[in-house]
Every structure is written in structure tokens, then in C-alpha cells.
Chains A and B, each alone.
Chain A
Amino acid sequence: MADLLHTLSAAELGRRLSAGLLTSRTLCEALIARYHLLNKKVGAFTHLDERDVLTQADASDARRKAGQGRGPLEGIPVAIKDNIAVKGQPLTCSSQMLASLVSPYDAHVTERLRAAGAILYGRLNMDEFAMGSSTENSAIQKTFNPWDLACIPGGSSGGSAAALAAGLVPLALGSDTGGSIRQPASHCGIVGLKPTYGLISRFGLVAFASSLDQIGPMARCIEDCELLLSALASADARDMTCFAVADRALTPAGDAKKLRIGIPKGFLGKGVGAEVATAVTAAIDFYRSQGCAISEVELPSADLAVPTYYVVATAEASSNLGRYDGVRYGHRSASAGTPVEMMTNSRSEGFGAEVKRRILLGTFVLSAGYADAYYMRALRARSKIRAEYLAALATVDVLLTPTVPTPAFKVGEKASDPLQLYLEDIFTIPANLAGLPAISVPCGKSGHLPVGFHLVGAPLSEAKLLAAGRLFESAHGFAHQQAAL
């Protein structure tokens, strides 16, 4: 049986654990064996403390035996993107800057997972400080798309998506600032959900752009995604942007066949590849056939989303990453005569090219003489985009588009063209700007590479997104798909 465990969903593993058909130790040993077999090829994990994992597994098995199991995630491994703090584990953000940092504290979500009995299973590769759409910006290693090892897995949660698609772990945490959960989910053929801004505490998530960042669940099917989401969402007084009460997001939605689905006008014109268009159109047709009301929706400021996002995100990032200066923790340059030199040298040595590019951009848009033209205008544009999305979502339940215009590209293909990479996020960015929940659901292939569609809902409508996803998933064969490796 052990050789098949990696194919099972978290929900199914949970059922077997509860039924006494499986122990967490057996499960973890099987996954560790698979890690040894495949991680070098895929590059999903940057760190896995096997002894610690087995200690946690034994503790879980003991709890279960004592009748003190903590719920559906008891004994289930959850892998964690390397920008979410787990006490005693590395917190590198895939950066040289934090290569030596061991977190002295737990993120809120980490505490939630511990409380749910989950196994904190390793650290996942990512674009440095979550800046990127291909995980090529990791300073530690490359991650490859399990469906085609010559291709990128997407990013910045590329390690999370690749680990799931390769069957290295049943559940993973990602973070999403402009599409960093959904875009790699689409590229790797898995489910990824970015919750409503404020549904999940950001305490312990290393900030990229604070007003956009959200932690979210990544899984191989809707049921697992929902399972993980329910474990993560809860009030947290340590994050003032976190909702005090958010039960609505998890209250089961009504009949998915009655959902009103809005299709943004002209989305197919935005550089969408032919096979992506075909798969997404088929998904729309499916929903129509199920009785859903499909209508076209106008979002006049959609074109402002990418520039608005890159101004806001880089501005916040330039400030958030100011703390990495070699003084208190992290990399300190060996050559420095003055504090200014020390900080400057440490930062120059510790940050990679994309991080530097975004810091420079963010510094510029906030600088004296330019802040009004860039940063302040971006805040106004953001207000407008948000208003348009909320207005549209007053008339329909969800908005449907592709998640990414094109399937995963070859490693190195777009590395020299940052602007081209920024456009990868054209469909995912507005949900972050407007603080809305959004999900990517696998819906087909472009060649041998997965394609997903993207649903955005009104604030706290996660249950509707999951219901819509489940309706599609149950009629198609894309759930639980894993690449043959």
C-alpha cells in the first residue's frame, strides 16, 4: 500500500488514519522515501528535517491512540513555503539574505496547523521574497515543473505547486501577492486558493507587499483545499488587518448550479494562448450546461491593474525589505567601514537581481517629486478597480477567466524580460488589489502542460468558489492529477 500513498488526497489519508488503516509514521516514511527519490529532480523542497517529521508523526500517532486526535488534519503532512515562520526551522525566503536565519517564533497559521495535529513537513522553494512568477528567482535552487522538467512551475509558490504535482506531499501552504498561489497552481495542475484579504492572519508571513499578501491553501483537489482553508482561517489579534469574524467564508454555499457567472468582456484578447482559450471556453460551456447563468461583465479599468499593482507592491516591498540591513540578523557583509557601507554592502550581497529591481522601482515611485504621479495615483486607481469589481460582483457571483494567459514556459525563457513576466499576472492581480478571494481550478491541458481557470468572488465568498470548483471537478478528471516522474 505504501507505494500508493502519495497519490491519495489528504481527506482520504485522514479517513484511513482515523480508521486505523494507516499511521502517520508510515505515511511520513513513504513521503520521505519519495522525497529522496524525486526532490533532486523537481527541486520543490529546500529543507526537510526527517527526524523532526518522524518525531511529529509519532506524537500524532500517540495522540490518536490515546483518543486525543485533533481533527481531520491529524497526522497529515503539510509542507510550508519558506516565507512562513515555523519555530526552529529555516525562514530563508529563498534569499541569501536570510540563508542563516532560523525562526524564533511560529506564524499564526503554523500555530493553527499544530493545533490541528498536522505534521509541519519541510520548507518549500520560492522566488526570493516571493518576487517572481517562475521560482527562477530563488537564490537557493531551481524548481522544475513536474509535468515537464524543462519548464518552470510558476511562482512565487513554485515549490508548493511542484511538490503537490509530484506527489511529494498532500497539502501545502503558499502565499499570494499578485497570483503567487494561483499561477503556479494553474501551471502545475493543482488547486490553489487566495483567500479574501484578512481571512487568514499574516502574522508570521514574511511581508512582500503587506496590503496584498495572503497565505492560502494549495492541494490536489477542492475537498483538500477546503480542509486546509478551514484549519487556517481564524481571528488573530496579532494582525490588525485580519477579520475578527469570518465564518461566512466557510459557510457552505447553496447549489452551485444556480451560480451567476460573469465573463469579463474581451479577456481572450489579452494574449491568451489558443489551447488555454479552448480549455477555459469549455469550462464556461460546462457551467452553462449545468444551469449557471453566464453573462458578460464590463471591467473598464482592467488595463490599469498591472501598473497599479507594480507601483503599490514595489512601493510596499521597498519599505518592507528595508529591515534587511545586516544589523540585527541575516547576512552581514564582511567588508564595511561605516554603518552605511555595512548596510549597503550587506544588501547588495544578500539580495538577488529581481529583488533589487523591485526595491529600486518601489523606492522611485515613493520618492520626493514622484510619489504623487506614481504611488498616489496608484492608490486612486486601486480604489477605482476595487469599486468596479465590487459593482460587478453585485450582479454576478463569480468572475471567470483563465488563471494565466499561457501555459508554463521553458526555464530561462523570460528571465531577461521582467515586464513580460509581470504580464503573467494580468488575470490574478485584480483580486489582490481588491482584496477578493480567488481560486485556480485545473481544467485541461495545453499539450502536456496543465491549464487552469480562475474564479474571483465577492469578499468572504470562498465557499461559493469552492462549490463552483467542486461542481467542475466532479464532472472532470483533473483532480488528483500527478505528473508521471
Chain B
Amino acid sequence: MSSSPSDWEVVIGLEVHVQLHTRAKVFASSPWGFGKEPNEQVDSVVLGLPGTLPVVNREAVEKSILFGLVVGSSVPEQCAWDRKNYFYPDNPKNYQLTQKDFPIVVGGQVEIELPGISRNVMGEHKFVRIHHAHLEEDVGKLSHAGSGSLVDYNRAGVPLLEIVTEPDLRSAAEAEAFLRSLVALLTQAGVADCDMEKGQLRCDCNVSIRRRGAEKLGTRTETKNLNSISSVRDTVIYETARQIRELEAGRTITQETRGWNAELSRGYVLRDKEDAHDYRYFPDPDIPTLRISRETVARLQKLVPESLYDRQRRYVEKLGLPFTAASVLVNDRELAEWFELAVAAHPANPQGIANWVTNDLLRDLAASGAAGALLTDAVPPAVSLASCPIKPAQLAGLVKLTDEGVISKQQAKEVFTEMFKTGQEAVAIVDAKGLRQNSDTGELEKIVQAVIADPAVAKSIAEYRAGNEKAINALKGPIMKRTQGKANPVLIDQLLRKFLG
């Protein structure tokens, strides 16, 4: 008799490696960046030449602390580095400098949002605890060429922050939501770029299952080096199914290290516990214990941006935005700040501004190639507003003109299109195009009366008077024609009803 999958609960913990946003490497002054020729970003320290010594990069330390502050962790008074010893050709010193006993960040939590039942309904929120985060160095890259392999050390020594969660995640969807939230926090605070295409975010994923309601954790497996959110999601789904299958077939789960083949969507065993490495950790004697001053922590605290979901709550609760618009805006800090600048310039209608931003602005930015990422739902949603031809106050001006009835909604679309092309002020475009609505009651009254008198519309007037509301619309066309489309439609409607009344 087999049980259903819902009898099992999956328990997931993640170790997320992110490359920190720095110019130089973490223990050496060599620069780093994507797309350089092999071994062009290597100095004698990175190469581990005899006699060279590591010196910790201040920016990497501060970015790590900033991350800690973003997730509300405590920043310890002291942190220290250890050596993790293992031989591998991509590891220049054959030890990795990492932090084992005294990491730079301890504790903290990340708020996540699960998908709602539809796109316009907010899903459940929960908190995922961070166990700690430690600052370490990346290794080089191996590629295979014929009968041999080639080593490029450009990536060696790039600062990595390894963020280790508590086993708080309970589904592939939660793991995915966690990573999306984490990426938003990291990118919004400027800690990391998290560009997965460039390998700037890599995960190790620990998965175990247990009977629902059971307290004891099952034996876990660790799948290493997942380089996209979708691979993490797929790995969780795959591992969960595999482990349930194993247990239900009466077998046991072995504690093992696994790999993931994204092309085949299949996991495989890298090594079992017997082959586990003996890393012979010990405190690195070249880097003294580092004391972190409270002044630094206080200074960095000021750089912590409002969190993703705090912002979302504020937009919904204080600005009255629908969830759909709020959730789009908060994904990107630059976009949200752009939006808020526009709101500051015209505080009366945040929702109107949000509509323009989330629909027209993003659409046109995407079309112009600046915000493709955002609309394709990729992470991070890298909108470049730097090149956006419309400034926040200009959009606010457009919304204001519409709100005041100076231009119609239809005209506003035309103004927006022009604004995106030329970057001109809304008022200037309206004037240049002569788009200003005609709201001169006296002039319009004359035109309305003239049209009513035209025998061509007599039939429509009769129908209207007979109770066909819609028949009145047949009179609006000729009026618009006589005003070159500038008549305020609201006013025309009022006047027609008055005269036909």
C-alpha cells in the first residue's frame, strides 16, 4: 500500500553563494569582471605564488555587513577567516579562505511571498531564517579541451558571500520565492548584482523528507553548484520525488553530495559520505581576527534600503495601489524610487502614476531594450532607468494635466508617446500639438447648437428623445470634427443633454 505524496513533507535548506559587488578581489588587489581573456585578471596573490599574502578588501567586508543589516542579523564584534584545505586544480593555494567559526553575519531573516491564486492576488508571506553568512573567495574555472583540461584563474579570489539558511523552506515554490526575495534584497542594497547568466549566484541545496507531522529530520542530500533559480526549483522537485520513491520502496536515503544536470533535468551522485572530504579547517594565520567597529555598523545601517515587502505594504496601504501594480514596482528599487519621485511631484494620484509606470513606461522601455528583463520576469529585473527619456516629474505633469481635464485620456497617450520620443515636458507637447482640450463653454455651446440644428442628425435626436441613450453618441462625432478633436468630451456630453433635455 503506497501513501500519497502529501503524506510527506520536504525540508529544504539553501547555501547561496553570491559574488559581491566590488572592483578588486577579496584578498588581492587584482581587478575582476566578466568577459575578460583567460588569466588576465590574476596577480601574484591570486596565483598563490610563494611568499604572497592575503589582505582583506574593505568593500567586501562592508558589503557583507550591509547584507547582514538588510536581513536584520546581528553583526558580530569580531570575525575571522579559516582555511579549508582541499586539492583541486582550480584552487590556486589548495586551500580556500573562508569563515568557519566566526562569520561576518550571524542570524537574520528574509521575508518571502508565495504566488497568489492569481496574478492580482497577493500570496502568503513567511519568514526564512538565515543561519549565518560568511565571506570567502571564489575558485578559478576549469574547461575541458580534448584529452586535458584548461584552468583560468580570473574568477579565483572573487569575493563570495555564502548565505546559509535554516532548514525553513518546505517546497520548491518556497525555495524559488526565497531566492527571488533574496536577489531583490541583494541587488536593491547594492550588495551584489546576482547576474545568474554570469554565474554571480550559485546555490547548494539540502533536501530531506519526513512523514508529515514527524519532528525528526530525515537524512539529507546536498546538491551542489546550481546556477539558476529554476535549477534549484527543479532539483527540489526531483529530489523530493526521488527520496519519496526510495523510502516507499523500503530503501533508505544515503547522505551524499549530488550534482545536477540541467540539460537532462536529472540529478546524479557526486560522492557519498564515505568519500567526504577532510577539509582540515584551521584559523588562517595570515589574517588576524578583524574587529568591526560599531561606527561602521551605524554608518552602513543608514544605507539599508526599505525592504521589498515593507515597500509593497506601504504602496498598498498608504498609496492605495492595487497589489498587481505594487508588486511590479517594488521588484526594482530604481523603478520604485522613480515612481516615488513622480508621486512626490503629483501626490494626488499615485494610482494613476502607477498605471502609467507599470503599463506604458515599462512597455516602452522594454521595446527600447532597456527593461526587457523586467517583463520577462527574470531575476534580477534589471531596468535601466538611467536611459529613460521621461523624468519622473514629467510623467507627474502628464497625469496632472489629465486629472485636471486639460487633456483627455486619449490625448494623454499621444503626449506620452511623444514624451518618450523627445523627453519634452507634457505641457510643451500639448501646446506644440495644440492638444489642449476646448473647455470654453460659450464657444462649445454654439457648436453644439449648430450640430443639433443640422438635419443630418435629426434621426438620432429623435431616437435619443425616445429613450435610446446611445443615440446621443452619434452627435459627438460631428462636434469633435468641428473642434478638431479638442473638445472636452465630458463637457460636450453635459451640453448635449442640456440642449436635448
A contact set with B: CB distance below 8 Å: 83-85, 91, 93, 98, 101, 103-105, 107, 202-207, 209-211, 237-241, 315-316, 318-319, 322-323, 325, 327-329, 339-340, 343, 363, 366-368, 371, 375
Once A315-B282, A322-B87, A367-B278 are accepted as A-B contacts, the answer to whether A84 and B287 lie under 8 Å apart by CB is no
B contact set with A: CB distance below 8 Å: 44, 47-56, 83, 85, 87-89, 92-95, 149, 151, 278, 280-282, 285-288
Q: Within the complex, what minimum Cβ distance (angstroms) separates A337 from chain B?
A: 10
Q: Which of A84, A205, A343, A375 is in CB contact (< 8 Å) with B87?
A: A343
Once A325-B87, A367-B278 are accepted as A-B contacts, the answer to whether A107 and B51 lie under 8 Å apart by CB is yes
What is the CA–CA distance of A329 and B93 in the complex, to the nearest angstrom? 12
Once A240-B288, A368-B278 are accepted as A-B contacts, the answer to whether A339 and B53 lie under 8 Å apart by CB is no
Residue of A whose beta carbon sits closest to that of B84: A319
Q: Which of B44, B278, B288 is in CB contact (< 8 Å) with A241?
A: B288
Residues of B within 8 Å of A322, CB to CB, are: 85, 87, 93-95
What is the CA–CA distance of A237 and B58 in the complex, to the nearest angstrom? 13
Q: Within the complex, what minimum Cβ distance (angstroms) separates A178 from chain B?
A: 14
Residues of B within 8 Å of A366, CB to CB, are: 85, 280-282
Q: List 15 A-B contacts (CB under 8 A).
A: A83-B51, A202-B53, A206-B50, A209-B285, A210-B285, A210-B286, A237-B55, A238-B55, A240-B53, A240-B56, A240-B287, A325-B89, A325-B94, A339-B149, A340-B87
Q: Do B282 and A375 have beta carbons less than 8 Å apart?
A: yes
Residues of A within 8 Å of B53, CB to CB, are: 202-203, 238-240
Once A319-B95, A366-B280, A367-B278 are accepted as A-B contacts, the answer to whether A101 and B50 lie under 8 Å apart by CB is yes
Q: Do B54 and A240 have beta carbons less than 8 Å apart?
A: yes
Residues of A within 8 Å of B48, CB to CB, are: 323, 328
What is the CA–CA distance of A341 and B269 in the complex, to the nearest angstrom? 23
Determine the main DSSP class of B at the interface with A.
Answer: loop
What is the CA–CA distance of A481 and B453 in the complex, to the nearest angstrom? 130
Residues of A within 8 Å of B49, CB to CB, are: 103-105, 329
What is the CA–CA distance of A205 and B285 in the complex, to the nearest angstrom? 14
Residue of A whose beta carbon sits closest to that of B151: A327
What is the CA–CA distance of A202 and B53 in the complex, to the nearest angstrom? 8
Once A210-B285, A240-B56, A240-B288 are accepted as A-B contacts, the answer to whether A319 and B51 lie under 8 Å apart by CB is no
Q: Within the complex, what minimum Cβ distance (angstroms) separates A371 from chain B?
A: 7
Residue of B whose beta carbon sits closest to that of A206: B50
Residue of A whose beta carbon sits closest to that of B283: A379
Q: Within the complex, what minimum Cβ distance (angstroms) separates A479 from chain B?
A: 32
Residue of A whose beta carbon sits closest to that of B27: A240
Residues of A within 8 Å of B87, CB to CB, are: 322, 325, 340, 343
Q: Do A323 and B92 have beta carbons less than 8 Å apart?
A: yes
Q: Within the complex, what minimum Cβ distance (angstroms) separates A69 from chain B?
A: 29
Further 15 A-B residue pairs, CB within 8 A, beyond A206-B51, A366-B282: A91-B51, A101-B50, A103-B49, A105-B51, A207-B50, A238-B55, A239-B53, A239-B286, A318-B85, A322-B87, A322-B95, A323-B94, A327-B151, A328-B48, A339-B88
Q: Within the complex, what minimum Cβ distance (angstroms) separates B382 from chain A?
A: 36
Q: Within the complex, what minimum Cβ distance (angstroms) separates B95 from chain A?
A: 5
Q: Do B285 and A211 have beta carbons less than 8 Å apart?
A: yes
Residues of A within 8 Å of B44, CB to CB, are: 104-105
A84, A206, A325, A367, most chain B CB atoms within 10 A: A325
Residues of A within 8 Å of B92, CB to CB, are: 323, 328
Residue of B whose beta carbon sits closest to that of A241: B288
Residues of A within 8 Å of B51, CB to CB, are: 83-85, 91, 103, 105, 107, 202-207
Residue of B whose beta carbon sits closest to that of A209: B285
Q: Within the complex, what minimum Cβ distance (angstroms) separates A433 from chain B?
A: 12
Residues of A within 8 Å of B52, CB to CB, are: 105, 203-204
What is the CA–CA distance of A104 and B47 in the complex, to the nearest angstrom? 12
Listed from nearest, the 10 A-B pairs whose CB atoms lie closest are A322-B94, A211-B285, A366-B280, A210-B285, A206-B50, A204-B51, A323-B48, A368-B278, A323-B93, A206-B51
Residues of A within 8 Å of B287, CB to CB, are: 240
Residues of B within 8 Å of A98, CB to CB, are: 50
Residues of A within 8 Å of B95, CB to CB, are: 319, 322
Once A210-B285, A343-B87, A366-B280 are accepted as A-B contacts, the answer to whether A85 and B55 lie under 8 Å apart by CB is no
Q: Within the complex, what minimum Cβ distance (angstroms) separates B448 from chain A?
A: 83
Residues of B within 8 Å of A211, CB to CB, are: 285
Q: Do A319 and B288 have beta carbons less than 8 Å apart?
A: no
Q: Within the complex, what minimum Cβ distance (angstroms) separates A395 from chain B?
A: 28
Q: Within the complex, what minimum Cβ distance (angstroms) separates A424 from chain B?
A: 23
What is the CA–CA distance of A438 and B479 in the complex, to the nearest angstrom? 104
Once A325-B94, A327-B151, A339-B149 are accepted as A-B contacts, the answer to whether A241 and B286 lie under 8 Å apart by CB is yes
Q: Do A240 and B286 have beta carbons less than 8 Å apart?
A: yes
What is the CA–CA distance of A318 and B83 in the complex, to the nearest angstrom? 12
Residues of A within 8 Å of B47, CB to CB, are: 328-329
Q: Do B55 and A240 have beta carbons less than 8 Å apart?
A: yes
Residues of B within 8 Å of A105, CB to CB, are: 44, 49, 51-52
Residues of B within 8 Å of A315, CB to CB, are: 282
What is the CA–CA distance of A239 and B51 in the complex, to the nearest angstrom? 10
Q: Do A85 and B89 have beta carbons less than 8 Å apart?
A: no
Residues of B within 8 Å of A93, CB to CB, are: 50
Q: Do B280 and A85 have beta carbons less than 8 Å apart?
A: no
Q: Within the complex, what minimum Cβ distance (angstroms) separates A92 from chain B?
A: 10
What is the CA–CA distance of A346 and B50 in the complex, to the nearest angstrom? 16
Residue of A whose beta carbon sits closest to that of B93: A323
Q: Within the complex, what minimum Cβ distance (angstroms) separates A193 from chain B?
A: 21
What is the CA–CA distance of A279 and B287 in the complex, to the nearest angstrom? 41
Residues of A within 8 Å of B286, CB to CB, are: 207, 210, 239-241
Residues of A within 8 Å of B151, CB to CB, are: 327
What is the CA–CA distance of A366 and B94 in the complex, to the nearest angstrom? 15
What is the CA–CA distance of A211 and B287 in the complex, to the nearest angstrom? 10
Residues of A within 8 Å of B285, CB to CB, are: 209-211, 241, 316
Residues of B within 8 Å of A205, CB to CB, are: 51
Residue of A whose beta carbon sits closest to that of B278: A368
What is the CA–CA distance of A343 and B88 in the complex, to the nearest angstrom? 9
What is the CA–CA distance of A83 and B44 in the complex, to the nearest angstrom? 16
What is the CA–CA distance of A91 and B89 in the complex, to the nearest angstrom? 22
Q: Within the complex, what minimum Cβ distance (angstroms) separates A99 from chain B?
A: 13
What is the CA–CA distance of A104 and B45 in the complex, to the nearest angstrom? 12
Residues of B within 8 Å of A202, CB to CB, are: 51, 53
Q: Do B89 and A367 have beta carbons less than 8 Å apart?
A: no
B51, B52, B87, B282, most chain A CB atoms within 10 A: B51
Q: Do A319 and B280 have beta carbons less than 8 Å apart?
A: yes
Residues of A within 8 Å of B282, CB to CB, are: 315-316, 319, 366, 371, 375
What is the CA–CA distance of A213 and B89 in the complex, to the nearest angstrom? 27
Residue of B whose beta carbon sits closest to that of A85: B51
Residue of A whose beta carbon sits closest to that of B56: A240
Q: Do B280 and A363 have beta carbons less than 8 Å apart?
A: yes
Q: Within the complex, what minimum Cβ distance (angstroms) separates B461 from chain A?
A: 90
Residue of A whose beta carbon sits closest to that of B52: A203
What is the CA–CA distance of A316 and B48 in the complex, to the nearest angstrom? 15
Q: Within the complex, what minimum Cβ distance (angstroms) separates B148 from chain A?
A: 10
What is the CA–CA distance of A238 and B50 in the complex, to the nearest angstrom? 14
What is the CA–CA distance of A343 and B89 in the complex, to the nearest angstrom? 9
Residues of B within 8 Å of A340, CB to CB, are: 87
Q: Within the complex, what minimum Cβ distance (angstroms) separates A156 from chain B?
A: 15
Q: Within the complex, what minimum Cβ distance (angstroms) separates B292 from chain A?
A: 15
Residues of A within 8 Å of B85, CB to CB, are: 318-319, 322, 366
What is the CA–CA distance of A93 and B51 in the complex, to the nearest angstrom? 11
What is the CA–CA distance of A238 and B55 in the complex, to the nearest angstrom? 6
Q: Within the complex, what minimum Cβ distance (angstroms) separates A340 from chain B?
A: 7
What is the CA–CA distance of A340 and B95 in the complex, to the nearest angstrom? 15
